[in-house]
Amino acid sequence: MLIRRKGDSVASGTVHGQPGFAQEPVDTTVAEGGEAIIHCVIDNLDASARVLWTKGSTNTPLGLDRDMPGFPRYTIIGDPAREANLRIVNAQLEDDDTYRCQVPGLRSDEVTLTVQVPPDPPTIDDHENGTRITVDPPAAVTLTCRANNARPEVVITWLKNGEPVLYLTPTTVVADAGDPLGKKKNLASTLMLNPEKEDNGAEYKCLVEHPALIRPYFVTVVVNVRFPPGPPLITGYQQGVAVRQGDVVALDCASRGGNPLAEVYWWKNGVQMDHSYITDGAGARNTLPITVGYSDNNAVYKCQVSSVVLPEPLTAQVQFTVYFPPAYVNITGHENMVNSGATLTLQCTSANSNPSASISWYTGGQQVSSSNDVVVPAPNGGFITSQNLTITVIGQTDSMDYMCQATNLELYEYANAVATVNVMYPPGRPLISGYEEDEEVKAGNLLRLTCIAVGGNPLATLTWQKNGEELEGDYGTSGQLATNELPLILKQTDNKANYSCSASNQATPTPLVTQVSLDVLFPPERVFVTAEPPQSREGDRVLVKCRTASSSPASVLSWWRDGVPIDGGEAVVEPSDNSGFSTSSELVIENVSLSDNGRVFLCRAKNDLIVEAVNDGLIMDVRFKPQISIADQVTISTREGPGLQILNCTATGNPEALTYVWHQNDAPIALEGNTRFTVNEAGSLFVHNATRTEVGKYMCVVSNEEGSSNITITFNVQYSPIISTGDQVVINLFSISELACEADASPKPEGFIRWSREGFDLSAHQTEYSEGRGILRILNVSKADGGLYTCTADNGIAPASTKNIQVVVQFVPEIDRTVPNKVAQSIGQLAVLRCRAEGAPVVRFKWFQGGSEVNVTSDHYTFDTRQDLTYSNRYESRLYIGPVNEVFDYGTYVCKAYNDLGETTVSVQLEQTSAPEAPFDLKVDQIQHNSVKLSWKPGFDGGRPQTFQVRFNQKGELQYQYVDVVPPNATSYAVTNLNPETDYEFTVRGRNDLGTGTYFLGIVSATTKIAPSKPIAPGPTGILVGNIPLYLFLLVTFLSLLSCVFINIFLVCCLVKRRSSKKRNLAKNSDVKLKKIETVHSDKESMTATETLDSLSRRDQSEYSKDPYSDDERSYDSRRYGDRRYDDDGFSDRAYSDQYDDSERRPVTPSRREPGSGYHNAGYRPPSYSASWDSFARTPSVMTDLMSEDQEERDYADQLRRKQAQLTSAPPSTGKPYEYQSSVTPSPVPSSLGNFVQLTKARPADSQAGSEEGFLV
């Protein structure tokens, strides 16, 4: 054994003819997640020798297979004859180990694969990335940067403002990361800082570098060093300089420097003025604009600078000096009026002024002498000046004006005020107007009394009084007159009332008074009518009395009964209130009756001098027990359902407080919380949403204090039927059985219960009906009698009630032999075997294979049973087998259906999917002169959806024609466009995606009928055609036909010219594309000649035939048998646009697929013509000129393809694979090749887990 050891040279380990290292493994480094390749190249490697890679110190073998199944990320790559390079993809830390390459007789040194793991993103302890660290010098700052879980450990560099920190040495600590393999490292770097003022805003960055990183990681912090701001500096005002009131002064306070910048605020006399200031990069300032007022005099404005760094705020201040005039003057001492000859002292006081103001007095435009000024300091700044003026009132003048003026001599500004001194004297005696003595006025009218007083200073105050009680009037003055108007709506209390008016002012020690007495006519306010006794009963004597209230003059009385005047007793007149008179009268009613109850007795009082009359009356109160107005023993009917039914119980009685009590079937009805019954105020019973439970006799009892009465009402509720019969009936074969249907209803008319069964005539069965019960009698029960019966009860009230009754006829299970007994499924797919049976009682199933029962509890088999929704005695069992195993699952299965009466079995064959079996029972259903309609029964479909193809030929001919049946799953088809009076032979076969089945075993012949003859036009038998002469009619007809011929000749010429132009364009386009193909070959980028020829020659046969249902199976011209639409030229525009336009846009994928099942290769002809072209050519009655032109275009397309194949036959000069370019796309096949159109694919039915074919799982 030759072993290559570490330290030996390659030459020393290599012997001629023996294996030796041409390239020995070396240490390799890879980043985590990357790809590592450890090279191992061995010369003279025996073909049977297999290279073994080992891993780790234990030399764990990785396997001899180059795919290394046990290590999915490991593979051996390179030339198998000499290269065994170990490739590791998605390298992980577990791959970090030693490796050795060896073959029998040769072993390499151990080499190390180092997997580099990048670190986690770095962090700085206690600080997020990009945060600011605030420091108050001389405090120190410790920054610790960590980069964890790296292999190998990282390198950390500290930067300040992008430059390395060279003046400080960080402390570095490396530790194990604690990972399971113990290979990762954590690194921490600590930097100690003593920031100063100049370090404010410095950025410190921790830069982490590692070989596994594309670019370094970093994390940063910013140092925020705090220091105090400068002192405040005030500008804008110089202390001691006086300013005038109204001047605008801008005080500015600034503080420079500081971190953070200072907060600058203004204070006035200890009160803060604002909370706003501005800052810039160098400091902070606050500008305070002031409009100077008198309050600013001696005011102290202080600027305060604050900062979190300052222990106490810094301040600066100025004191203002302001000159201002007095704002106003105030005169006192003239508030009261004075008598003529009295002495009065006026005092004038100024508002504060700086300097103090000087006061002067004026009257009648002349200055008057006065006392000296008295000046005192003002509390809020400045000075207050005051001066007195003493005057003596002389003369009869009403008033005198005196003006006081205060002047600031420094500012030449002043303020003044005027005081008026009033002199008093009495008014004249008042006068009353609006009423004359002894004048009669009527109550209810408006009377205006006006009191007038002349003169007086001040003018007189006028006051009204009625019998000594003060009243409020409308007071007013005009010149030397004072008036007070008193509006009155006259009342009876005004009769003989005393109205007085008094006039007074400060000069009248006793008021001056004038008075008047009124004479008022008024009717009585009301009439009082009473009865004795107040309440009476039938037969009593009643005395009705009437008395009026006071009136002036006395009233006259009259009696009325229910609006009709009647005689009463004599009237008596007596004195009464307000100097008026009262009148009274009596009315006697002997033996009152029930009819008197409620009658109105009216007493009317009327005054001859006054039109108005006053009435009062009473309603006679005769007591009696309730009288019910509804007839007794009535019947009320209603229908059950939503709505409201009212049982009336209208009654009258006195007293009117009636109590209503309702009884249902002699039991009182509880109304509290009852939603079915309610009673209204009139005593009517409301029945809500009446149901059959409310049927019965209802008694209404009405009572009051005098007694009670009652009536009885019969309440009948009509309702629709409700069937109470059961859902299922079990009967026996050959017995006589009865089906009963019972229904509750109201009413129950004769025969309202009926029996029916869908799809069956039940007239042969006997039916009977008795009260609410219908019977259907079945004689000699058969299996056909089992099923779903419907009982319908209809009494004319909707809705009618129906009940489905399942009749079960018991019999031994019978298996449905129409269910296919053969199932096909592919290996690995899910197969479903079905077994359908009917029987009663319930049918159960078991499945057997090879004599043993199928174990349906295993995961390989699933079993379920379903019941028919319509015919309940029909059942279906489904056995699911999957995935199908080729060895164990194919074969014969036995389904056993059984119940309590017996059992039956059937065999079901499971086989592999295949081509369909031949159809059977092919027959001719209909024959016409140009068509034959066929029908058949499909053979077994092989487990795949199948379609059908009809083949036919003229009897005796060897050429066949084919037609695909549409729709694909149809089992009948009409072959059209046949020749009349011709014998044809037909057969049919099935196809699916696994192949084409065999034809129907046999031939069906049919002879088409004679074509219908055209009717022979009758000869000319008259001279006129309608009203037109015959010769003129024939001439017009001939000219019309001649015009049609010329038009057709013109159109044919245009068509021929158009086709010639198309061919020239196609040839031109193909030459251009052939040149492009040559260019591609010259660039050594084309595909091989074999691939090109194969793909181009197959373009017409399989480009659109990847689906087994494509048009290559059509065997006749689609213009004759298809349903396609064509343009004026006879070509299918849809065929060209849907297929060949797309071929210009998508690449042609070279394919080596050989023609197989579902494909044709017929010398580049359209596959649809491959078997029948010659027959068309030899049959003039079928072959047309248009078909000949189609053949010419096909020959042209074949020639074009051969030319392309010749150009691509030379092999490319390089080994590069062919790269497709759009420039080499073959020219589109002429549009006349319209048979290359995909048929609609047959889509397999979706698998249904739920109900199918009317069966319920």
Give the percent of the chain with pLDDT over 70.
81
DSSP state of 1216: P
pLDDT of 306 reads 92
Task: Give CA–CA dist 1188/1177, Å, rounded.
Answer: 8
Q: Given a cut of 80, is residue 1110 above it in pLDDT?
A: no
Q: Given a cut of 50, is residue 379 above it in pLDDT?
A: yes
Planar angle of CA 673, 676, 679, nearest 5 degrees: 75
Nearest partner of 1178 among 959, 1000, 914, judged by Cα: 959
| Average pLDDT of the segment spanning 480-505 | 91
Nearest partner of 785 among 727, 732, 843, judged by Cα: 732
Contact predicate 1023/1030, CB 8 Å:
yes
Nearest partner of 353 among 292, 414, 417, judged by Cα: 414
Comparison of pLDDT for 961 and 354, the residue scoring more? 961
In this structure, is residue 1136 part of a structural domain?
A: yes
Comparison of pLDDT for 62 and 1257, the residue scoring more? 62
pLDDT of 1014 reads 62
In this structure, is residue 552 part of a structural domain?
A: yes
In this structure, is residue 1232 part of a structural domain?
A: no
Q: How far apart are the first and last CA of the chain?
A: 73
pLDDT of 99 reads 95
- Taking only Cα atoms into account, the Rg of the chain, rounded to an integer number of angstroms, comes to 64
Same domain, 538 and 560: yes
Identify the H or E element spanning 438.
none
DSSP state of 693: G
3-state secondary structure 819-868: CCCEEECCCCCCEEEEEEEEEECCCEEEEEECCEECCCCCCCEEEEEEEE
Distance of CA 1166 to the CA centre of its chain: 56
- Taking only the tens place, the pLDDT of each residue in 1158-1183 is 333 333 333 333 333 333 333 333 33
| Average pLDDT of the segment spanning 555-563 | 89
Task: Give CA–CA dist 538/622, Å, rounded.
Answer: 7
Same domain, 468 and 578: no
pLDDT of 611 reads 74
Confidence of residue 1037 (pLDDT cuts 50, 70, 90): confident
In this structure, is residue 1217 part of a structural domain?
A: yes
Helices (H) then strands (E): counts for the chain:
8, 92
Residue 109: phi, psi to the nearest 5?
Answer: -70, 160
CATH (domain of 669): 2.60.40.10
Contact predicate 906/821, CB 8 Å:
yes
In 955-1101 the beta strands, taken as DSSP E runs, fall at 961-964, 972-975, 983-992, 995-999, 1004-1007, 1024-1025, 1028-1029
Residue 410: phi, psi to the nearest 5?
Answer: -75, -35
Q: Given a cut of 70, is residue 919 above it in pLDDT?
A: yes
Contact predicate 493/518, CB 8 Å:
no
Comparison of pLDDT for 731 and 186, the residue scoring more? 186
Task: Give CA–CA dist 887/878, Å, rounded.
Answer: 22
Contact predicate 823/833, CB 8 Å:
yes
| Average pLDDT of the segment spanning 833-847 | 93
Of 559, 585, 619, the one marking the end of a domain is 619
Same domain, 406 and 499: no
Residue type, 1194: R
Q: Given a cut of 80, is residue 1082 above it in pLDDT?
A: no
Which of 273-277, 1169-1173, 1188-1192 bottoms out in mean pLDDT, i.e. has the lowest? 1169-1173
| Average pLDDT of the segment spanning 115-124 | 95
Q: Given a cut of 50, is residue 1101 above it in pLDDT?
A: no
Same domain, 764 and 832: no
Same domain, 435 and 374: no
Alpha-carbon distances of 565 from 548, 558, 561, 600, 603, rounded to whole Å: 18, 7, 6, 12, 10
Highest mean pLDDT among 6-10, 769-773, 1119-1123: 769-773
Of 293, 323, 353, the one marking the end of a domain is 323
Here the tokens at position 1098 are 């197959």
| Average pLDDT of the segment spanning 753-774 | 88
Confidence of residue 188 (pLDDT cuts 50, 70, 90): very high
Here the tokens at position 290 are 């002031």
Give the percent of the chain with pLDDT over 90.
40
Q: What angle, 0 to 180 degrees and rounded to 10, lies between the N-to-C axes of helices 1089-1097 and 1185-1207?
A: 170
Q: Given a cut of 80, is residue 515 above it in pLDDT?
A: yes
Same domain, 276 and 402: no
Comparison of pLDDT for 36 and 14, the residue scoring more? 36
| Average pLDDT of the segment spanning 307-332 | 91
Q: Given a cut of 60, is residue 901 above it in pLDDT?
A: yes
In this structure, is residue 1169 part of a structural domain?
A: yes
Contact predicate 833/847, CB 8 Å:
yes
Same domain, 177 and 258: no
Same domain, 308 and 364: no
pLDDT of 1115 reads 35
pLDDT of 1083 reads 40
- Taking only the tens place, the pLDDT of each residue in 582-598 is 999 988 888 888 888 88
| Average pLDDT of the segment spanning 1239-1254 | 36
Same domain, 1146 and 1197: yes
Nearest partner of 1098 among 1227, 981, 1201, 947, judged by Cα: 1201
Alpha-carbon distances of 474 from 134, 429, 432, 446, 483, rounded to whole Å: 83, 19, 14, 15, 8
Q: Given a cut of 90, is residue 96 above it in pLDDT?
A: yes
Q: Given a cut of 60, is residue 1233 above it in pLDDT?
A: no
Contact predicate 805/739, CB 8 Å:
yes
881 three-class SS: strand
Residue 618: phi, psi to the nearest 5?
Answer: -145, 160
pLDDT of 1206 reads 54
Task: Give CA–CA dist 1116/1173, Å, rounded.
Answer: 9
Q: List residues bridging with 898 in a β-sheet.
A: 844, 903
User: 1165 Cβ partners below 8 Å, 6+ apart?
Assistant: 1173, 1194, 1198
In this structure, is residue 293 part of a structural domain?
A: yes
pLDDT of 1202 reads 60
Here the tokens at position 275 are 């909370």
**CA dihedral defined by 838, 839, 842, 845, rounded to 10 degrees?**
-60
In this structure, is residue 405 part of a structural domain?
A: yes
Here the tokens at position 264 are 């600058």
| Average pLDDT of the segment spanning 130-138 | 90
- Taking only the tens place, the pLDDT of each residue in 386-428 is 999 888 877 666 678 889 999 988 888 899 999 888 888 888 8
Q: Given a cut of 60, is residue 7 above it in pLDDT?
A: no
Task: Give CA–CA dist 803/725, Å, rounded.
Answer: 8
Domain assignment of residue 313, given as a range: 233-323
Confidence of residue 777 (pLDDT cuts 50, 70, 90): very high
Q: Given a cut of 70, is residue 1252 above it in pLDDT?
A: no
pLDDT of 380 reads 76
Same domain, 560 and 470: no
Alpha-carbon distances of 193 from 131, 133, 142, rounded to whole Å: 16, 12, 6
Tell me which residue has tokens 């033996």: 591
Q: How many domains does the chain have?
A: 11
| Average pLDDT of the segment spanning 699-724 | 90
Confidence of residue 627 (pLDDT cuts 50, 70, 90): confident
Q: Given a cut of 60, is residue 555 above it in pLDDT?
A: yes
Here the tokens at position 376 are 């005192």
Confidence of residue 439 (pLDDT cuts 50, 70, 90): confident
pLDDT of 706 reads 85
Tell me which residue has tokens 């023993």: 633
In this structure, is residue 504 part of a structural domain?
A: yes
Confidence of residue 763 (pLDDT cuts 50, 70, 90): confident
pLDDT of 1226 reads 37
Of 619, 647, 676, the one marking the end of a domain is 619
- Taking only the tens place, the pLDDT of each residue in 664-698 is 999 998 888 888 899 998 889 999 988 888 889 99
- Taking only the tens place, the pLDDT of each residue in 1205-1227 is 554 444 444 444 333 333 333 33
Same domain, 186 and 251: no
Task: Give CA–CA dist 102/37, Å, rounded.
Answer: 16
pLDDT of 1210 reads 43
1078 three-class SS: helix
pLDDT of 808 reads 85
Is this model's pTM higher than 0.95 or not? Answer: no
Confidence of residue 826 (pLDDT cuts 50, 70, 90): very high
Task: Give CA–CA dist 549/526, Å, rounded.
Answer: 6
Q: Given a cut of 80, is residue 969 above it in pLDDT?
A: yes
Confidence of residue 525 (pLDDT cuts 50, 70, 90): confident
pLDDT of 203 reads 94
Mean pLDDT of the chain: 81
User: 112 Cβ partners below 8 Å, 6+ apart?
Assistant: 27, 28, 97, 98, 99
Q: Given a cut of 60, is residue 1191 above it in pLDDT?
A: no
C-beta atoms surrounding 194 within 10 Å: 12
- Taking only the tens place, the pLDDT of each residue in 1123-1148 is 333 343 443 333 333 333 333 333 33
Q: Given a cut of 70, is residue 1247 above it in pLDDT?
A: no
Comparison of pLDDT for 1179 and 259, the residue scoring more? 259
Same domain, 1129 and 1219: yes
**CA dihedral defined by 489, 491, 495, 501, rounded to 10 degrees?**
-40
| Average pLDDT of the segment spanning 712-728 | 89
pLDDT of 797 reads 87
